[in-house]
Structure 1
Amino acid sequence: MSSVASVALMQSVVEIEQHVAADGWNQRPRMFALVPTADLLVTQPSMAAALGLTDESAESGGIPGLTSIEQDGLALDQPLDEMLAKMVWPAAVEGCALVIESQMLPPSAEEQIPQDPKGAELERWVTKHPERQDVRMAVAVLRDGTRQAAIRLRSKDSDMEVLSGPDLVPNLTAALLETFEE
């Protein structure tokens, strides 16, 4: 994992999270393909132009290393793990990012979890828990294993309060990396 890739991925995940945050809360999951901007300029010049990316801005260093392209048509009628297990990316896609909203509890709540809860039962229990936090997680990975995440708490809904780092959501990161395995 190069530091250049890590910086480019961090910039992408922060931009994606802010883009999604601009639409407010209570959103469906959103998936983004990440492509090298330099490749996009060569292979898709009309798309690059529509995004405001030009050879002149590339030469001046004014373009990001990665460009995110939102993917429409996600199969949201199935569990997230099943949807991700079916995803296949073309070679031109260097990485991907997923933004989902969820709820989390503090570690102290683990002892209170009902014994052997079923999926819907556990979900209802978490939703009613007084210490529940609503979160938006933007998780991004590259084919080479580089990873980054940005997490926004609904209770601290500010760009300045977004937590970021490579290891914040390890299970989701692993699931996204598997979308690149052949």
Structure 2
Amino acid sequence: MTSASQPVTEPLSLAALDTERHVASSGWDQPPRLFALVPTADLLKREPHLAAGLTVSDQIDGALTAIEQEDLPTNESIETLLGQIAWPETVEGCAIVVERLVVPPDAEHGLPEDREAAVAALAEHPDRRDVRLLAAVTRDGRSICLLRQRDHDRDDRVATGADIAPGLVAALRATFTD
């Protein structure tokens, strides 16, 4: 895992960082959010008026722009939701942002059998940590994950790595298979 404070120039990493910052600006306790990643150059050909809002990172070769997919069903699991998605050829990649509760492994001992009671018990655990996870992939197989802890929200520290959420990365990659 590396720190996101190092200079980043790779298009997928830049799109992931920009997307995470966008989501972070809305605070915590959000539902999952899904984004299509499209080549910025292609988007500007279709929507030239968007050029006025470009940043430096939007102008690098291969830049990607995140387009949020709104009105996601909230009554389905992430796995079910992603299993129903197939992207058109114009979409180069995708990203999903989810919030999770992380507890030490020993916190799972002695939990109630009832799922809701178990979740409530874990939420009250003194060592629990709230995290926001972004996983992004491209059609050609590249991936990146970002992890922000609620405890470090103010200092803007975000961990990055390719292997933070392998199951989520695999589920996102599956949205690009025929």
Which TM bucket (shorter chain)?
0.7 to 0.9
**1:29 is matched by which residue type in structure 2?**
P
- 1:87: which partner in 2? 85
Query: What are the within-5 Å matches in structure 2 for residues 14-29 of structure 1?
Result: 14-29=17-32
| Correspondences of 1:88-103 after superposition (within 5 Å) | 88-103=86-101
User: Which residue matches 1:3?
Assistant: none
2:49 aligned residue: 49
Alpha-carbon distance in 2 for matches of 1:87, 1:20: 21
Higher helix share: 1
- Opposite residue 152 of structure 1, the aligned amino acid is R
- Name stretches of at least 5 consecutive residues in structure 2 with no aligned partner: 1-8
In structure 1, what is the Cα distance between the partners aligned to 2:35 and 2:10?
18
The offset of 1:155, in angstroms, is 0.9
Displacement of 1:78: 1.3
Task: State whether residues 58 and 64 of structure 2, in contact with CA within 8 Å, keep that contact through their aligned partners in structure 1.
Answer: no
Q: Deviations over 1:80-125 (max 9, x none)?
A: 1111100111110010011111101134535x2538x454343223
- Structure-1 residue corresponding to 2:33: 30
Instruction: Structure 1 unaligned segments of length 5 or more: list them.
Output: 1-5
Count of residues paired in the alignment: 168
Distance 1:127-1:98 versus aligned 2 partners, 3 A rule = same
Task: Give deviations 1:109-160, integer Å, cap 9, x for gaps.
Answer: 35x2538x45434322321221110011111011111111111101111354
SS at match of 1:15: helix
CA distance in 2, matches of 1:38, 1:155: 37
2:160 equivalent among 159, 164, 182: 164
TM-score when normalising by structure 1: 0.82
Per-residue CA distance 1:61-94 (angstroms, 9 max, x = gap): 8625101111112112211111110011111001
Which residue in the other structure is 2:139 paired with? 143
Q: What is the alpha-carbon distance in structure 1 between the residues aligned to residue 114 and residue 51 of structure 2?
A: 45
1:76–1:83 Cα contact (<8 Å) kept: no
1:133 pairs with 129, 150, 157, which one?
Answer: 129
Aligned Cα RMSD in Å?
2.4
